[in-house]
Amino acid sequence: MESNLPTVKGPSIFLPASADPAQDEGGSEAPPVRPSQRFKTSALKVLQMHRGSTAIQAPGAEQGVDPRRDSAAQHWGHIHQECAIEVCDYSPTSTSFTRLSNAGLAEFLSGRGKDRPSWAKVRWVNVGGISWDVIRAIAIRYDLHPLATEDVLRCGESGSRSKSDYYRNHLFLSMMCHSLAPDDEPPSYESSQAAASTSLSEDDPDRSRVLTDSPVQTMGIDPSSSRPGLKQRGSSVRSHSPGRADPERDAPDRKAKEAAKVAKQRQWASWMSMSPMRRRKAVNQLALRELKKGAHVSVELKHIYVFLTRGGTLITFHQDADLSVFRPIKARLQLKDSLLRAHSDASLLMQSVVDLVVDKALEVVDRYHDTLLDLERQILIKPSMKTVRALHIMSGDLTLHKRTLTPLSTMIYALRRYDLDRAVAATPEAQDGKDVKVTGFCSHQCKVYLADVYDHMEYILSSMDMFSSIAENLINFTFNIVSYETNQSMRRLTVATVLFFPLTFLTGYFGMNFTYMNSLVGSDIFFWEVAFPVMTIIILMFTYNDIFKMYRAFSRSRQFDMVKVRVSHSVLRASC
């Protein structure tokens, strides 16, 4: 039986299941397709995408991504977005910035920009966004290791953490950047209790993960969709005004849309292949994320990848197609007397990127400090369970942040302490016993400034430990206050019961309905003659311990006052 699957020449790529060939041909009508045939075609497409999506993730699959292989394009070619690319060449005397597109980068690296200018000492290739064509061009030009290339392509997947890997030709850093989210609210407890005004953003399909490595957030499940669809990786799809179509102008957008559809279908097939337990876990994590909205510090976790080559080239990849996060470093490069320009050291530029990530984390720590102070004020004024809920959420978030920030601290320490040792270990000639001179990737100046960055990381981790302890102490304090108030209420009720118990007994005794009672003949003084002694005896019996404690506290206070008076007199005599 023949299949109606469309065929393409060259490397195989899966076409979108929702694509209509009639629409792709400019609106010409296609012959009607029977429902049974359409179902078979869709089923074959889903099975084909499922095989392609699980081929590289199955147990025992080959590690790494070699962009020179045709199979790599088949498995990873669906990852596409229009990236923001900037190439900076600088020296102590001059600097230049070149903005490029995805297609322009491949031409640049193979043509006039294959080597940096003779006057430049350092080249910085800064890429915003993750796209297969961009990564392939850079990996081939600078001979990036397949394992590092795979880590960049798997950007956003669960299990990723900050680390440093040494290879023969380059150093690779993978960092988790913590930054305040744009929708983060000020640290006001009243405002933080209000519900979030918006649901998950549908305008930002590349929204980063928040506080968790959820499979839902990794795969980009859209909770507002009727079916658990998946977000597209592409983050910028430009819209043009209606009018005459321009194929040359619309080609990048059309390619991005097609790649996004393929990625969505591939991820949908991966979602369908998940076990029920993993699906429940993903849905629960998404529900927790929604419940935490408006009651915690909103922090974005985004990946930054850094390649430092032996030839003085630094390559950075940011998760979003936005280079504004590197604006402070760019401003420093434009100053002729800045440290980066004066030394023109690629490892020092790498240190600046690491320092930028740590500074972003410092902003998060400051926001947590402000929020914790506000919650502490609320508890000291009037403890409530809403405050306990906010503290519980904060304590959990701090634990997650410590889990992602601790590897970053370890990475910075390893760069300072074991740079040369790991560089030697990554050089095959040095391991074979040959007399080869191996140098580390970090210069002495870089290690000096990394020491300061490491101190900041120690401050961040110690602050988060302290905030977590304070949050737990405030939660315990709140429950202790509630228990104390409950005990005080029961104590007041007990005192009232003790006071009125004898009166109730005597009232019941003298209020019995007898026709004649000798004790009630005449005046009612006899009732009070009996009531007062009985009340006094019963009250003393029940409050003896409390009265004794009050007496002991009063006597000790008097003794302490007498000691203070004696000490003051002795001091006066000694001064005289």
458 in any annotated domain: yes
Q: Which residues of 33-69 are buried (b: 16+ CB within 10 A; e: fewer)?
A: eeeeeeeebeeebbebbbebbeebeeeeeeeebebee
Do 298 and 341 have their domain in common? yes
Quick one: tokens of 367? 């926001």
276 in any annotated domain: no
Q: Which residues of 517-538 are buried (b: 16+ CB within 10 A; e: fewer)?
A: eeeeeeeeeebeeebeeebeee
The predicted pLDDT at position 444 comes to: 93
Do 458 and 519 have their domain in common? no
Where helices occur in 334-345 by DSSP H, the ranges are 339-343
- Ranking 60-69, 71-80, 217-226, 347-356 by mean pLDDT, the lowest is 217-226
Distance of CA 297 to the CA centre of its chain: 10
The predicted pLDDT at position 241 comes to: 39
Do 448 and 362 have their domain in common? yes
Q: 270, 264, 267: which is closest to 18 by C-alpha?
A: 264
Q: What is the pLDDT of residues 406-458, one digit of tens each?
A: 999 999 999 999 999 999 888 888 777 777 788 899 999 999 999 999 999 99
One DSSP character per residue, 512-558 reads ---S--GGGSS-SHHHHHHHHHHHHHHHHHHHHHHHHHHHHHHHHHH
3-state helix, strand, coil in the chain (%, to 5): 55, 10, 35
Torsions phi, psi for 232 (to 5 deg): -85, 150
148 in any annotated domain: yes
Do 430 and 547 have their domain in common? no
Could you tell me if 69 and 146 are in contact, meaning their C-beta atoms sit under 8 angstroms apart? no
Give residue 96's pLDDT band: very low, low, confident or very high (50, 70, 90). Answer: very high
Could you tell me if 318 and 127 are in contact, meaning their C-beta atoms sit under 8 angstroms apart? yes
Alpha carbon distance 200, 220 (integer Å): 11
User: In the predicted model, what is the mean pLDDT of the chain?
Assistant: 77
266 in any annotated domain: no
Q: What is the pLDDT of residues 259-304, one digit of tens each?
A: 666 666 666 666 666 667 777 777 777 777 777 776 778 888 899 9
Residues spanned by the domain of 524:
513-575
One DSSP character per residue, 134-169 reads HHHHHHHHHT--HHHHHHHHTTT-TT---EEEE-SS
Compute the half-sphere exposure of residue 556: CA atoms within 13 Å on the CB side of its CA.
6
The total of structural domains in the chain comes to 2
Beta bridge partners of 318: 128, 304
Domain boundary among 460, 482, 504: 482
Residue for token pair 């910035």: 97
Domain boundary among 482, 505, 524: 482
Could you tell me if 65 and 150 are in contact, meaning their C-beta atoms sit under 8 angstroms apart? yes
The predicted pLDDT at position 61 comes to: 73
Q: Which helix (H) or strand (E) holds 285?
A: helix 276-291
Q: Is the pLDDT confidence value at 576 over 80?
A: no
Do 434 and 562 have their domain in common? no
Do 524 and 381 have their domain in common? no
The predicted pLDDT at position 50 comes to: 46
Q: What is the pLDDT of residues 143-176, one digit of tens each?
A: 999 999 999 998 877 667 899 999 999 999 999 9
Question: What single-letter amino acid sits at 459?
Answer: Y
Do 75 and 162 have their domain in common? yes
The predicted pLDDT at position 288 comes to: 73
Do 518 and 471 have their domain in common? no
Do 110 and 153 have their domain in common? yes
Alpha carbon distance 458, 365 (integer Å): 12
Do 78 and 183 have their domain in common? yes
CATH code: domain of residue 455: 3.30.460.20
Give residue 120's pLDDT band: very low, low, confident or very high (50, 70, 90). Answer: very high
Do 407 and 302 have their domain in common? yes
Q: What is the pLDDT of residues 229-252, one digit of tens each?
A: 333 333 333 333 344 445 444 555
What's the whole-number mean pLDDT along residues 43-61? 53
Beta bridge partners of 308: 171, 314
426 in any annotated domain: yes
Q: Other CB atoms closer than 10 Å to residue 417's CB: what's the count? A: 13
Residues 6+ apart with CB under 8 A from 102: 82, 83, 85, 131, 133, 134, 252
Residues 6+ apart with CB under 8 A from 505: 534
Give residue 112's pLDDT band: very low, low, confident or very high (50, 70, 90). Answer: confident
347 in any annotated domain: yes
The predicted pLDDT at position 172 comes to: 96
Q: Other CB atoms closer than 10 Å to residue 501's CB: what's the count? A: 15
The residue length of the chain stands at 576
Give residue 226's pLDDT band: very low, low, confident or very high (50, 70, 90). Answer: very low
Beta bridge partners of 170: 309
471 in any annotated domain: yes
246 in any annotated domain: no
Write the burial class of residue 20 (CB in 10 Å: 0-12 exposed, 13-18 middle, 19+ buried).
exposed
Do 443 and 556 have their domain in common? no
Q: Is the pLDDT confidence value at 305 over 60?
A: yes
The predicted pLDDT at position 23 comes to: 40
Domain boundary among 461, 482, 503: 482
Q: 486, 470, 468: which is closest to 401 by C-alpha?
A: 468
The predicted pLDDT at position 19 comes to: 38
